[in-house]
Amino acid sequence: MEHQRRSQPRLSPSGDTEDMALLLAPRLAYFAGVARTEHVTRAAHEMNVPQSTLSRAMVRLEQDLGVDLFARHGRTVSLTPAGRTFLGSVERALAEVERAAEEVRADADPATGKVAFGFLHTMGPETVPGLLHAFRADHPRVRFSLVQNYGEAMLEGLRAGELDLCLTSPVPDAPDLVARRLDEQKLRLVVPADHRLAGRRRIRLAEAADETFVTLEPGYGLRRITDDLCREAGFRPRVAFEGEEAETLRGLVAAGLGVALLPPPTVPRPGVVELTVTAPRAVREIGVAWLADHTDTPPVAAFKKFLLSRRGSLLPS
């Protein structure tokens, strides 16, 4: 066959080949089978497809490419130089598809699959390690991809398919997500050890209206809760420093740079005093969220069931 007899690939108005991958993909495995056996009938038998289907697929493949891939010799075929070049790329592509298929099958395995799990930074030092330790007592080979981030970023991770589940606060309310409240965590007003309020054990938040605050950056759930609680107490906090980590904020408080509303620390930090807030009720709800209308793999389903079973006992007492 002469190359001139082949029709050229269809082009879009912009000049790019129109949906070339979509055109070629279904025929690549057929091409590799014919190239391996150099015999259409034998390849059709090995792949359990009608010979006529295979022959038409090869003709259409050559037409779409505008190149002869095979030289015909009666019932046998041999690869042209273009066919040999194409075969190398096709074999690599098929191997990559097989590798990807094996990976997703492995991730879905009930015993050894993977869970992509996101959680707040403040959950990292103690809560999440304890949860994983308890879960793996019954699922010792399940693997985890762990992501620490702030709430909104994790919700976007769910929507992008990067996370299966996440622990977040506040508990989200969105039509494309499912969320369940698991626990609540008291927030304390953290002041420097030499602060005028340091001798107190309890405080109404309104008593801190004139203080300078250090907070997490806008977009963090704890920042929103801080702003809401201060508003409920009748004032807008004067913010001097914004950060990304609760423990960094504690360090800023210890340095005398402000006060902060924070969850309890994993271990006590010197240089600060933590006061119980009596009014308004200063807590943050912790919940688990996942994408609505999404089918869980067995390991994700098992971990979700485990998390829901921890309602009311998620956080250390």
Residue 26 or residue 14, greater confidence: 26
The phi-psi region of residue 170 (left if phi > 0; otherwise alpha if psi is between -120 and 50; otherwise beta) is: beta
- Whether 205 shows a pLDDT value over 90: the answer reads yes
Tokens representing residue 279 in the block: 């009014």
> Candidates 3.40.50.10490, 3.40.190.10, 3.40.50.150, 3.40.50.300; correct CATH number of 114-184+285-310?
3.40.190.10
| DSSP H or E run through 240 | strand 238-243
Residue with tokens 């309020």, as numbered in its chain:
197
Instruction: Look at residue 300 and tell me whether its pLDDT is greater than 90.
Output: yes
In the block, tokens 């003709």 appear at 59
Q: What pTM value is reported for the model? A: 0.73
Q: What is the pLDDT of residue 317?
A: 60
Question: What's residue 1's pLDDT?
Answer: 40
Q: What is the CATH number of domain 188-281?
A: 3.40.190.10
Over residues 82-131, the pLDDT tens digits come to 999 999 999 998 888 888 888 788 778 888 999 999 999 889 888 999 99
Q: What is the mean pLDDT of the chain?
A: 89
Q: Which pLDDT belongs to residue 19?
A: 66
pLDDT value of residue 24: 77
- CATH 1.10.10.10, domain 19-108, yes or no: yes
CATH 3.40.190.10 in the chain is located at 114-184+285-310, 188-281
The average pLDDT across 148-154 equals 92
From-to residues of CATH 1.10.10.10 in the chain: 19-108
Higher per-residue pLDDT: 1 or 272: 272
Asked if residue 119 lies in contact with residue 150, where contact means CB atoms within 8 angstroms, the answer is no
Q: Tell me the percentage of the chain whose pLDDT exceeds 90.
A: 66
Evaluate if residue 15 carries a pLDDT over 90: no
Alpha helices by DSSP H, listed for 150-292, are: 151-159, 221-232, 246-254
CB count, 10 Å around CB of 94? 14
- Region 59-69: what's the mean pLDDT? 90
- Lowest-pLDDT choice from 12-16, 39-43, 249-253, 265-269: 12-16
Residue owning tokens 């793996």: 136
